[in-house]
Amino acid sequence: MNENKTIKLDPEILSRIASLNVCATKLVEGLLSGHHRSKHTGSSVEFADYKDYTPGDEIKHIDWKMVAKTDKHQIKQFGQSTNLKATILLDTSGSMGYESSNPKTMNKIDYARTLVASLSYLFLKQYDAVGLSLFNESLISHVPPRSKPNHFKHILHELAVLSPNGITKLGDIIESMIERLPRRGILILVSDFLTKESGVEKKLKLLVARGLEVILFHILDSDEVSLPFNGDIIFESLEDDSSIQLDPADIRETYQRAIQDQIKYYRSHCVKLGIDYIFLETSTPLEQGLTYYLLQRKNLGKHRAL
Amino acid sequence: MNFNFLSPFYLLGALGVGVPILIHLMTRRQKKHQRFSAIYLLSQSKNRAIKQSKPNRKFLLFIRCLCIALLSLAMANPIFLPGDSTNFETNDPSAIVFILDDSYSMATQINQKSYYTHAVKALLDTNKSLPAKSVYSVVLGSSPNRVLQHWTVRPEKAKNILELNQPSFRTTEIGRAIKKSLPLLEEVPQKNKLIYILTDRDKNGWNEEEFLSISETTSHTFNIVDFSEMKHGINKTAVEHIEVQQEFLSTSRVIRVKVKIANLSQLKPVNKLKVSLWINGKEQTEGTLDIPTNSSTEKEFSFPLQNNNPINGEVRIEDDSLLKDNLRFFSYQPDQTIKTLVVDGDPNTVEHQSETFYLERALNPFTSSLSNIELTLSTPAELSKRNLFDYSVIILCNVHNLPFGYEQELEKFVLRGGALFVTLGNQVDAKFYNEKLGNILPVFLKSVYQIAKTDEPFRFLIKPSKHPVLKVFKERTLEEMKSIEFQSIYSVEARENSKFTTPIVFNNKLPALIESTTGKGKVILFVSSIDRDWNNFPIQPTFLPWIQRWIKYAARGLDSLIQKELLVGEPFNWENPPKNGKAYIVAPEGKFIAPPYVGGNITFKKTYTPGVYQLYRSSRTPNLESETSVPAHLPYGAEPAGSFTVNIDPTESHSTKISNEEINNLLPKANIIFSNGYQKLNLNKTNAGIPLSTYFVMLVGAMLLLEGWLVRNE
């Protein structure tokens, strides 16, 4: 969709892109150094099996050496040689725009941006196609998966220009996206999952059923987990909720229980659906979270994808 | 219903409510605005948190403020006053008669103002709140009632006249005042007719007889405003009565003043009450007196008489809230002769055979100046012409019987302080004495004991006695008295419930002389004759001092006859005034009055001020005709002609109050509203309202407990 979109040369955006580029590159190079094996060479020319020739088959695929040896017309079959297509779905609803009260902590949207850029770079580095879709209550923009190294710029641009707003409607988005997603690819969903809608797990089930490998990055700010505020505070919503006045001390425990319940909810459902679920607090260094996840995947034998 | 505060100053403490509010505001956290992502989770959490009923800071603040407010209310001593103080339920024009009790008990002081002043204020305040076109009038409640202010519309019109008027020295007459008010109410067209009675509700002012004629017909609305309920104004003590006596028996001239003082308190005895006697404006003597609760005690002062000038005196006691009953006046003309009327029941043309021959000579041997006894002889037939009240002592000597109905005069005479000396003899009609003089004589005359000539006669049983009459007789005299022979005596028998003493008895134990007290007077019965018919006593040397002392002794109460003692408002009848019509009265406040003659007598009615009224006569023709005329000074040559005293009626001092039920019974058809004076004036008052301090303090305690519990939970 935005494939041919001209990148605006806004200096601010450019600097943001450069920064993201540096961050992602640094992260990924650090992660892959010493153990990365390019999957591009031979992955699509690997021999898979022989098959009897039947009329209609391409003659060029007949293994003439086999004919010479066995006098049988056998056709050589090769494994799938197409590149992996990864689609990253990034939640850009208003709630993602939460700015942490701790100045040392990265803001949630920046954290997500960096994560997405890192993952994209990682995919592209492996010559896999990677696409990016931004959404809130609807799809905002979509960058289709490409494996060209230059594609990284497009993704970075999208990341740079996004501004969080609107409400989260995860279920609707998955429903609308599901048809256009490539089968048997990877879908990476990056969101804070702060949504009032129910039945998100059913939508995730649809994705899994389509053969997609789904990875969920649940990103929350530390404030959203612990509610560290004190005093009489009027909380104004970043989405469409009405403001609420209260003393957080009064409800802190209840809130913390509620947010932990939500995390547990997603984790338990993801485990059931075979979805990788990674919970990241913005106070956790991104490389630490990413490393932990990649190591976990490697141990599970899933390193094929990443 | 109404609320009053005894210490309204403490209401300022309610400003302390500001302190917790200030602290709350100072410590209140600034409301911060925070943009946040998970608002819906906050809402859910808040809804769950409310269920745990966490304390609300504003609720705590409210409780704290309430505590301070309630505490200041409690300290202000709130009084809840049931009942409505106003009577104007409608705005219809009303006609109101204010019956203003101006009896002297209304002079009782409270907060340095009298009940009367408060009542006047209440009256004027009520006037201000009258509906438009209302009229009112003011009738004074003391006797005799008069209309102080006739119907008027202007609320301020009665102000000056009311403020100038002071409580009188008279007693209350509410019944008559209502009688005076009812015709007044008929004069005005207003339909809403009310009678306000501003009084201290002294029971003596509510005479049942006065209400008999109005109780069935009166259906007006009465608003009875009680000013006596003001607790501070307790009238503790009052001088009830004064009796002045001159001791004739003793050689020195001594005046005895017997004063009766009442403790009016129902609760506390009076200890060491200072009582002082003032003679002619100077303090003569003083003493202290203890009086038990709700009773009276007598105290006797005695002082030697320096000269024969008239004595004008007063007895004063310590001040209490009602000053007017703390003094009482008396006047006395000392060294008067004892005017004695001797009734000879057995006169004889032969002088020495008359019954009274020896008595006359014994009582007045040379001149009256020596014995102080001035004799007037009379026969029973002449009695009806005599005015008994001109005499101090009446001696009935062997009188057969009295003129028809005269026994009643005699009884009145004795009750008012006269002395009656009765001697018997052969003329006496015992039946008449027993039947007609039953109220005077304490004994029945039974029969005559007569001794045969050969027998031993009756003699006095002589023994030393402490009786005032007999104590001066010494041994030799007593021996002489033993020799007196009595041939005949009357035997007597005590009447039922009679009280008497027998200072002298015969040697056969029969009484010789019987002494009794009736009313203020004395009755002495000598059971033998006063002449020589039945004994030889009259020719004995002891007879003269004996009979003189008995007469002087009996005449002790004569002052009540000579000195007129009147109550305020009682008319003074000047009997036998100067015939040439030149009589003057000087009132206690120094006013000279030339009273008019009516049928040759003078009746002076304006005895409104307590004190000693001096009587004067002059040989010059008075140049003033009316009673109200005031001469500048007494005419030259005016001579004193006696005096009389006017004192307040002590019944008004007594604090017995008429109850609501009794008033309702007196006016069964009337609509009666009872209220208290303080309700109208917001005066300090506790005993009719319900004090709420305790409840407020308890409420404060409960609030503090609740606050502590909430804070602890927090």
Percent of chain B with pLDDT over 70: 86
More confidently predicted of A216 and B580:
A216
**Strand A74-78 versus strand A47-52 pairing type:** antiparallel
- Residue B625 located in a structural domain: yes
A237/B36 touch (CB, cutoff 8 Å), yes or no: yes
What is the rounded average pLDDT of the residues B486-496? 89
What is the rounded average pLDDT of the residues B266-289? 85
Do B545 and B662 share a domain, yes or no?
A: no
Q: Which amino acid is at A95?
A: S
Give the distance from residue A255's alpha carbon to the nearest chain B alpha carbon, in angstroms.
Answer: 5
Contact with chain B for residue A281, Cβ under 8 A:
no
Distance CA B99, CA B177 (A): 7
A235/B42 touch (CB, cutoff 8 Å), yes or no: yes
More confidently predicted of B526 and B208:
B526
- Residue B88 located in a structural domain: no
Q: At what angle do helices A286-300 and A108-125 cross, to 10 degrees?
A: 40
Do B120 and B201 share a domain, yes or no?
A: yes
Residue in B30, B37, B43 closest to A224 by CB: B37
Residues of chain A under the 70 pLDDT cut: 1-48, 78-83, 296-306
pLDDT-wise least confident of A166-180, A183-197, B16-30, B357-371: B357-371
pTM of the model: 0.47
- Domain coverage including residue B537: 338-559
pLDDT-wise least confident of A224-238, B78-92, B251-265: B78-92
Contact with chain B for residue A219, Cβ under 8 A:
no
What is the rounded average pLDDT of the residues B499-517? 89
pLDDT, position B396: 92
Has residue B85 got a pLDDT over 60?
no
Give the distance from residue A266's alpha carbon to the nearest chain B alpha carbon, in angstroms.
Answer: 16
pLDDT tens-digit profile of B88-135?
455 677 888 888 888 888 888 777 778 888 888 888 877 777 777 888
What is the rounded average pLDDT of the residues B249-267? 77
pLDDT, position B3: 67
Q: Give the residue on A whose Cα is nearest the Cα of B47.
A: A251
Strands, E assignment, A19-106 = 47-52, 74-78, 85-91
pLDDT, position B528: 92
B-contacting residues of A 2-21, CB under 8 Å? none
Do B643 and B669 share a domain, yes or no?
A: no
pLDDT, position A270: 92
Do B361 and B406 share a domain, yes or no?
A: yes
Q: Give the residue on A whose Cα is nearest the Cα of B33.
A: A234
Do B472 and B518 share a domain, yes or no?
A: yes
How many helices (H) and strands (E) are present in chain B, helices listed first? Answer: 17, 36
Residue in B33, B37, B44 closest to A95 by CB: B37
Distance CA B385, CA B268 (A): 53
Do B146 and B198 share a domain, yes or no?
A: yes
Give the largest CA-CA distance in chain A.
88
- B555, B618 in Cβ contact below 8 A? no
Distance CA B470, CA B500 (A): 17
- Residue B482 located in a structural domain: yes
pLDDT tens-digit profile of B554-568?
876 444 444 567 888
pLDDT, position B561: 43
CATH of the domain at B438: 3.40.50.880
Cβ-Cβ contacts under 8 Å, B30 against chain A: 231-232
CATH of A11-36+82-300, one of 3.40.50.1580, 1.10.10.10, 3.30.70.141, 3.40.50.410: 3.40.50.410
- Residue B89 located in a structural domain: no
**DSSP 3-state assignment of A266?**
helix
Do B156 and B202 share a domain, yes or no?
A: yes
Count of the separate structural domains present in chain B: 5
Q: What is the DSSP string of A133-156?
A: EEESSSEEEEEEEE--TTHHHHHH
pLDDT-wise least confident of A102-116, B296-310, B632-646: B632-646
- Residue B474 located in a structural domain: yes
pLDDT, position B646: 86
pLDDT, position A4: 40
Do B114 and B205 share a domain, yes or no?
A: yes
Chains A, B: CB pairs < 8 Å: 95
CATH of the domain at B159: 3.40.50.410
Distance CA B571, CA A37 (A): 145
A258/B45 touch (CB, cutoff 8 Å), yes or no: yes
Domain limits, chain A: 11-36+82-300, 47-78
**DSSP 3-state assignment of B209?**
helix
Residue in A194, A244, A247 closest to B37 by CB: A194
Confidence band, pLDDT 50/70/90 cuts, at residue B251: low
Mean pLDDT of all residues belonging to chain B = 80
Over its C-alpha atoms, chain B yields an Rg (Å, rounded) of 37
- Residue B87 located in a structural domain: no
pLDDT, position A6: 47
Residue in A196, A233, A250 closest to B34 by CB: A233
Do B161 and B207 share a domain, yes or no?
A: yes
Contact with chain A for residue B452, Cβ under 8 A:
no
Do B552 and B449 share a domain, yes or no?
A: yes
* Domain termination residue (choose one: B332, B351, B382): B332
A237/B39 touch (CB, cutoff 8 Å), yes or no: yes
For residue B287, which phi and psi values (nearest 5 degrees)? -160, 180
User: Residue B426 carries which DSSP code?
Assistant: T
pLDDT, position B103: 85
- Residue B217 located in a structural domain: yes
- Residue B405 located in a structural domain: yes
* Domain termination residue (choose one: B651, B667, B700): B651
| ipTM over 0.95 threshold | no
Do B78 and B205 share a domain, yes or no?
A: no
Residue in A235, A242, A250 closest to B36 by CB: A235
A236/B30 touch (CB, cutoff 8 Å), yes or no: no
**DSSP 3-state assignment of A306?**
coil
Do B268 and B297 share a domain, yes or no?
A: yes
